[in-house]
A and B are shown apart, each in its own frame.
Chain A
Amino acid sequence: MYWLLNSSIGRKLIMSITGVCLVLFLLFHMSMNLVLVFSAEAYDMICEFLGANWYAVVATLGLAGLAVLHIAYGTWLTLQNKQARGADKYASSNKTKTEWAAKNMYVLGLIICLGLVIHLWNFWYKMQFAELLHLPDAVSEGSGLVIALFSCPAYSVIYLAWLAAIWFHLTHGIWSAFQTLGLNGRTWYPRLKIISNIVATIIMIGFAVVPVWFTIIGLFN
């Protein structure tokens, strides 16, 4: 199993599998969020179900493991690649017409990390962590917390900027993961590009609905 550490394709395999799992998680998380637009009670039921229960805790730990692996390998790959490129830069720069997202995956990843810290503090800490440790910060009704936060337009703007970074990361990341897994070719490349754009856009819009919706409602109240 050492090849997952010391071969470039092995390292990329870890990147792609963790990346795809995170995409699947985002789709699941998004579906859950959308429930809030239709019914606060239903949303609170889901929150309860995924609160301080053993299965939710196990799933959270698994997810954290995936995220840590993805970030650690991403950092490692990026450092190795900088070294492989060498210290000498091109004076006439690099004018190859590559996609912006493809060249900035790590920077986008760091922005996602930053957003993640805010996000975990805003929600996860109060909705699961505090409950687990029986801290006074624990919030039992998730819906109220979400609605209160997104009634503040500044928070909504931060979240939308975060979603934009995720969108860029995924327009490249999704087809790239298929390429890394060897599931690509001349016929499938253009198709996978379109699929990546569609999935990334579904995720972005799906997540954007909640902050946008409650900002608008907040403005009219």
Chain B
Amino acid sequence: MEKVINITVKVWRQKGPKAKGGFEAYKLAGISGDTSFLEMLDILNEKLISEGQEPVVFDNDCREGICGMCSLYINGHPHGPDNLITTCQLHMRHFNDGDTITVEPWRSAAFPVIRDLTVDRQAFDKIIQAGGYVSVNTGGVPDANAIPISKIDADEAMDSASCIGCGACVAACKNGSAMLFVSAKVSQLALLPQGKVEAAARAKAMVLKMDELGFGNCTNTRACELECPKGVSISNIARLNRQFLKAKLSD
């Protein structure tokens, strides 16, 4: 039988970056278990608009787990209680009738709140701009078998490249560290021949930018990999440490 639940959603409301925020509780009745979490917020917003109130502002775009825009901290977990999914892939069947669900924005000094549940994640873009690309001429598209790449490296690079830049790693980290994100972005390039050329300079530039933007020092708590919707592994962080240390020692 289809699950239908009545819930209370406790949402962080904040008018602007400087405004003082606070929680508002809203009751929603007859929510189907097949409703996605964001659809539930859509239902809430329609209700608020029809009552002449301001709708809740939250980030979202693709709603299929690939863009990394959705970013809600739900009941003590970034992207909610389910594992290896983004907020937009979370369904209401994971909650029970009568539940109070607390919804908060990512909390980190480097991700200031813009409004309600939306935070400014431009810090991630700035880190990418500092070196998360290949700028050497790699020529035209080579034949698939012209540059041999081991299956292990190819798989590892693909896993690193699965990072969607959502920021859940920062949101989960007690140190507000961005190391999982940065290490994934460094690894996806450093593992492949086209990216290897600039690997040392890239690692240094991106870490420098990360530190400058006020992200914390990683103390290996592993909260990031436990909450990452794409299962990005802290082996990336070890690789980044290795590359950074090697680059600095050979300076």
Q: Residues on A close to B: CB < 8 A?
A: 3, 6-13, 77, 80-81, 83-86, 88-99, 102-103, 105, 172, 175-176, 179-186, 189
Contacts and interface: CB of A to CB of B under 8 A. Distances in A.
B220 A180 contact: yes
A7 B226 contact: no
Contacts of A81: 174-177, 216-217, 219
Contacts of A99: 221-222
Contact of A95 (B76, B214, B222, B242): B76
Nearest to A95: B76
B152 to A, nearest CB: 10
Q: 4 closest A-B pairs (Cβ-Cβ)?
A: A182-B242, A95-B76, A84-B216, A84-B176
Given A7-B211, A182-B239, A84 B108 contact: yes
A86 B104 contact: no
Contact of B107 (A8, A83, A85): A85
B104 A91 contact: yes
Nearest to A93: B76
Give the interface SS of chain B, mostly helix, strand, loop or mixed: mixed
Nearest to A88: B107
A16 to B, nearest CB: 9
Contacts of A80: 216-217
Contacts of A9: 207, 240-241, 244-245
Given A8-B217, A84-B109, A88-B107, A96 B226 contact: yes
A83 B239 contact: no
A91 B104 CA distance: 8
B45 interface: no
B238 A183 contact: yes
Interface stretch (B35-43, B188-196, B229-237): B229-237
A85 B104 contact: no
B218 interface: yes
Contacts of A10: 248
B173 to A, nearest CB: 8
A186 B233 contact: yes
Interface string B53-72: 00000000000000000000
Nearest to B75: A92
Contacts of B220: 102, 172, 175-176, 179-180
B131 to A, nearest CB: 14
Given A95-B76, A182-B238, A8 B207 contact: yes
Interface string B67-100: 0000001111100010000000000000000000
A69 to B, nearest CB: 15
Contacts of B221: 98-99, 102-103
A102 B174 CA distance: 10
Contacts of A98: 221-223, 226
Contacts of B81: 95
A185 B187 CA distance: 13
A90 B175 CA distance: 14
Task: Give the most central of A86, A183, A185: most B CB within 10 Å.
Answer: A86
A108 B230 CA distance: 32
B227 interface: yes
15 contacts: A6-B211, A7-B248, A8-B218, A77-B219, A81-B216, A86-B107, A86-B176, A91-B102, A94-B172, A95-B81, A176-B220, A181-B242, A183-B242, A186-B233, A186-B235
A105 B176 contact: no
A84 B208 contact: no
A84 B215 contact: yes
Given A96-B76, A185-B239, 10 more contacts: A8-B210, A13-B245, A84-B110, A86-B107, A91-B23, A91-B104, A92-B102, A99-B222, A105-B219, A182-B240
Contacts of A175: 220
B244 A92 contact: no
Nearest to B226: A96
A8 B177 CA distance: 10
Contact of A86 (B109, B227, B243): B109
A179 B210 contact: no
B109 A83 contact: yes
Contacts of B245: 9, 13, 181-182
Contacts of A186: 233, 235
A156 to B, nearest CB: 32
Contacts of B240: 9, 182
